[in-house]
């Protein structure tokens, strides 16, 4: 698992075939980040995953940083994605601007926009990112990114991202938290009021 090879270009979906041992491992980062940042994230995730899943036939681990995340997934079957459940990260201080209803509307509008990008034919790494204005005059910017595991079907990706949107609002949006992340082995959704996107990704300015 230590020698997961990341792909070339801007899409960092690494893999390793365990050969006769029947172990397959994969790593995934959002596109458009520095490759060395993805490598470092994966290196830090592997020891934690090996420690917490010493005997399981399948396991996954997430690591998060201020502007990125990564996942390492292993299984005894090349197509196995049987893990259930979600991992949650959030900030606790409520947002000073806007109501929970306004944030919910903004979060849903952002999610719909990003789902179309992540599941579209031109998506790199089943990934979508961007921003949207919400609240009075659409002055408050909300940033977000979505990504699906590269091996799942488009309908599975859409269903997973829809579930992530609902769970993210239940855990974080209705409490007016500035940011929140829902992560699973199939997909993830991350929103924030600070710009969490790589500098190579353009964002929509607020309407004034």
Residue 204 confidence (pLDDT): 37
Residue 81 confidence (pLDDT): 61
Closest CA to 38 of 60, 6, 74: 6
Handedness of CA 81, 85, 89, 93 (dihedral sign): positive
CB 20 within 8 A of CB 64: no
Residue 198 confidence (pLDDT): 66
Q: What is the pLDDT of residues 129-161, one digit of tens each?
A: 999 999 888 888 999 999 998 778 889 999 999
Q: CA-based Rg of the chain, rounded to a whole angstrom?
A: 17
- Ranked by mean pLDDT, the top range of 66-75, 90-99, 196-205 is 66-75
* Sequence-ordered list of residues with C-beta below 8 angstroms from that of 167, at least 6 positions apart, any chain: 86, 88, 182
Give the pTM. Answer: 0.80
Q: Which CATH superfamily is domain 13-81 in?
A: Gnk2 domain, C-X8-C-X2-C motif (3.30.430.20)
- CATH architecture, range 88-192: 2-Layer Sandwich (3.30)
Residue 162 confidence (pLDDT): 94
Return the higher-pLDDT residue of 52 and 78.
Answer: 52
**For 140, phi and psi rounded to 5 degrees?**
-90, 120
List every span in the chain annotated with CATH 3.30.430.20: 13-81, 88-192
């Amino acid at each position: 698992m230590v020698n997961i090879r990341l792909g070339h270009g801007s899409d960092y979906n690494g893999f390793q075939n365990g050969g006769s041992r029947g172990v397959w491992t994969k790593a995934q980062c959002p596109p458009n980040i520095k490759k060395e940042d993805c490598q470092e994230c994966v290196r830090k995730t592997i020891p934690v995953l090996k420690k917490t899943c010493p005997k399981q036939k399948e396991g996954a681990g997430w690591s998060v940083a201020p502007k990125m995340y990564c996942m390492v997934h292993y299984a005894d079957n090349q197509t196995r994605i049987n893990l259930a459940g979600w991992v949650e990260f959030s900030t606790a201080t409520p947002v000073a601007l806007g109501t929970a209803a306004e944030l919910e509307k903004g979060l849903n509008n952002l999610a719909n926009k990003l789902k179309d990008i992540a599941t579209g034919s031109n998506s790199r790494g089943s990934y979508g990112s961007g921003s949207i204005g919400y609240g009075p005059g659409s002055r408050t910017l909300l940033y977000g990114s979505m990504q699906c595991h590269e091996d799942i079907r488009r309908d599975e990706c859409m269903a997973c991202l829809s579930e992530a949107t609902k769970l993210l609002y239940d855990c974080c949006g209705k409490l007016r938290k500035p940011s929140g992340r829902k992560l699973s082995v199939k997909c993830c959704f991350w929103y924030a009021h600070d710009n969490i996107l790589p500098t190579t990704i353009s964002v929509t300015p607020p309407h004034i």
